[in-house]
């Protein structure tokens, strides 16, 4: 077994173990959200989706920020590990965005009376989702690994700088999205049971992010090992 | 004149000359823009929606689509017969090369926009006399930003399998802030609102231009150099 193959196997296994553990913990989050937290007075049970929606949004935004950061570092250092990480993080970020963009409307229909609204934050996250679908499509349509790494790093950096512009330009449409309840200047305005469940869920989602990124990184290494073997055999 | 500007103008001059000799791409892009305007006219109910209400959006969606068509060809011409290799072997700094391609693309997109604007006035019966200098200004401001990003993406897209599809997928999210800003400013200009109501949007457009022209000039080397 070549060193690349060995590393790919170790990382894939580790990623799989972390992801399975996170998924098991996620089942625990469901139990907590349904059994432990009180029912919100005005929104009723619809509010329970908050414990999935907010952590998924947090992970998606973290994933995309890390893609931007590692892209910038890649153009500077040209380390293939940074490129593999950016690719893994973008894929996992798209998955979490999909969770965020599906749980959001399910909640919005009973509460706002509409599935979708062109609110600043919704629009921003939708465009981030599109941006990273484009990022992945670009990666998929390029074969040369170095070219793929350079091109996607450029898209990653430009995308990171696009975010404040989209935010500014859509902000002027009045915002419907609930205002922050945890990260704001005053103390969190949530009952302790809700806050605790939310924080646990954020941790679980972050763990799931780490597991999936590790798994995806290991798979990228395995693909490289396969290509190396194919080149050697030629 | 600084050396890099002279080189950029030489690159732009080469592209513009090549375009003027065949004229097929430019002509097709202009016809395409005119067709989009015509289609738009039938996409609304003239008894329910006044042309003036829809005018800014129609103008900017047309500009955006026409720019996309124009940008698609920017590097396909370089790809034929490996012309890009000759260009890259020439002792031209990558920043100057980018500026040259950007200027050529701006000339191309600007021409399409300049032809579209009178057609827009003709088809939609919009009175532009008072707003014309402002419309030209905001068009220039918005176009520089997204054509700059489009130039970089066009250079990337020609290397992919589905270049004609890859460019819009990558570029459209980047067109959103300039288009939103330009539509807002155009609507206020057509309504004869004071400049103070547009200042925020104009600042946003100017900032977008500064950030993305700088960034694209720096990043272009990473796209073309192996």
- When pLDDT is averaged across residues A129-157 and rounded to a whole number, the result is 92
**Collapsing DSSP states into helix, strand and coil, what is residue B49?**
coil
Residue A70 lies in domain: 3-174+209-233
Per-residue model confidence (pLDDT) at position A187 = 60
Residue B77 lies in domain: 3-224
- When pLDDT is averaged across residues A45-71 and rounded to a whole number, the result is 90
Structure tokens at B197: 């109501």
Residue B81's region, left for phi above 0, alpha for psi from -120 to 50, else beta, is left
Largest CA distance in chain B: 60
Mutate to test the interface with B, among A130, A162, A166, A171 (most CBs of B within 10 A): A162
Contact A207, A150 (CB under 8 A): no
Nearest CB to B223: which of A154, A159, A161?
A154
pLDDT greater than 50 at residue A21: yes
Q: Is residue A155 part of a domain?
A: yes
Provide the domain count of chain A: 1
Per-residue model confidence (pLDDT) at position B3 = 85
The parts of chain B modelled with pLDDT lower than 50 are none
Contacts of B212 in chain A (CB under 8 A): 158, 161
Per-residue model confidence (pLDDT) at position A172 = 61
Residue range B79-116, pLDDT digits in tens: 877 788 888 888 888 889 999 999 999 999 999 999 99
Interface check for B215 against chain A (CB to CB < 8 A): the answer is yes
Pick the closest to residue A171 from B182, B53, B172, B181 (CA basis): B181
**Collapsing DSSP states into helix, strand and coil, what is residue A183?**
coil
Provide the domain count of chain B: 1
Per-residue model confidence (pLDDT) at position A175 = 47
Interface check for B166 against chain A (CB to CB < 8 A): the answer is yes
Q: Is residue A193 part of a domain?
A: no
pLDDT greater than 90 at residue A211: yes
Give this prediction's pTM.
0.87
Per-residue model confidence (pLDDT) at position B74 = 80
More confident residue, A152 or A48: A152
Pick the closest to residue B150 from A137, A166, A158, A143 (CA basis): A158
Contact A56, A42 (CB under 8 A): no
Q: Which long-range contacts (CB under 8 A, 24 or more apart) does A160-164 make?
A: A160/A64, A160/A65, A160/A67, A160/A68, A160/A69, A160/A71, A160/A72, A161/B211, A161/B212, A161/B215, A162/A127, A162/A131, A162/B173, A162/B174, A162/B177, A163/A124, A163/A128
pLDDT greater than 60 at residue A173: no
Chain B residues 11-70 within an 8 A CB cutoff of chain A: none
User: Which residues are within 8 A (CB) of B112 and not within 5 positions of it... i.e. 6 or more apart?
Assistant: B26, B29, B30, B33, B66, B67, B70
Per-residue model confidence (pLDDT) at position A137 = 93
Q: Determine which of A12-16, A48-52, A201-205 has the lowest per-residue pLDDT on average.
A: A48-52
Nearest CB to A127: which of B149, B173, B219?
B173
Residue range A95-125, pLDDT digits in tens: 999 999 999 888 888 888 888 887 777 888 8
Average pLDDT, chain A: 87
Largest CA distance in chain A: 68
Nearest CB to A153: which of B216, B222, B226?
B222
Q: Is residue A112 part of a domain?
A: yes
How distant, in Å, are the alpha carbons of A124, A172, B84 from that of A121? Answer: 5, 11, 41
């Amino acid at each position: 077994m070549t060193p690349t193959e060995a590393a790919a196997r170790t990382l894939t296994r580790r990623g799989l173990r972390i992801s399975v553990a996170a998924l098991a913990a996620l089942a625990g989050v469901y139990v907590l959200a349904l059994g432990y937290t009180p029912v919100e007075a005005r929104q009723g049970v619809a509010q329970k989706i908050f414990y999935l929606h907010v952590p998924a949004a947090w992970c998606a935004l973290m994933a995309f920020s890390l893609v931007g950061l590692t892209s910038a570092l890649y153009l500077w250092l040209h380390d293939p590990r940074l490129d593999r990480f950016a690719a893994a993080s973008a894929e996992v970020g798209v998955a979490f965005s999909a969770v965020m963009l599906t749980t959001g409307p399910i909640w919005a229909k009973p509460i706002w009376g509409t599935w979708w609204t062109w609110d600043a934050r919704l629009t921003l996250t939708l465009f981030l989702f599109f941006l990273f679908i484009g990022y992945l499509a670009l990666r998929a349509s390029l074969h040369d690994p170095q070219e793929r790494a350079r091109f996607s790093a450029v898209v990653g950096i430009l995308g990171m700088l696009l975010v404040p512009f989209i935010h500014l330009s859509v902000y002027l449409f009045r915002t419907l999205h609930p205002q922050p309840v945890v990260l704001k200047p005053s103390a969190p305005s949530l009952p302790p049971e809700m806050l605790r469940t939310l924080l646990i869920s954020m941790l679980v989602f972050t763990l799931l992010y780490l597991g999936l990124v590790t798994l995806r990184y290991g798979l990228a290494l395995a693909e490289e090992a396969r290509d190396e073997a194919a080149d050697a055999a030629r | 004149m600084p050396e890099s500007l002279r080189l950029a103008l030489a690159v732009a001059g080469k592209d513009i000359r090549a375009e003027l000799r065949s004229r097929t791409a430019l002509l097709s892009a202009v016809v395409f823009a005119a067709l989009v305007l015509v289609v738009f006219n039938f996409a609304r109910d003239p008894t329910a929606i006044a042309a003036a209400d829809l005018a800014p959006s129609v103008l900017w969606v047309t500009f955006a689509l026409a720019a996309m068509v124009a940008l698609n060809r920017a590097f396909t011409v370089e790809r034929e017969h490996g012309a890009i290799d000759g260009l890259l072997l020439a002792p031209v700094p990558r920043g100057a090369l980018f500026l040259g391609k950007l200027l050529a693309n701006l000339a191309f997109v600007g021409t399409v926009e300049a032809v579209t604007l009178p057609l827009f006035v003709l088809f939609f019966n919009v009175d532009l006399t008072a707003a014309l200098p402002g419309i030209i200004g905001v068009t220039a401001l918005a176009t520089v930003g997204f054509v700059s990003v489009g130039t970089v993406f066009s250079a990337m897209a020609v290397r992919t399998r589905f270049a004609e599809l890859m460019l819009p997928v990558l570029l459209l999210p980047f067109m959103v802030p300039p288009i939103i800003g330009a539509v807002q400013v155009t609507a206020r200009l057509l309504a004869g609102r004071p400049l103070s109501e547009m200042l925020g949007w104009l600042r946003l457009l100017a900032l977008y231009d500064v950030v993305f022209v700088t960034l694209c000039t720096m990043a272009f080397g990473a796209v073309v150099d192996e």
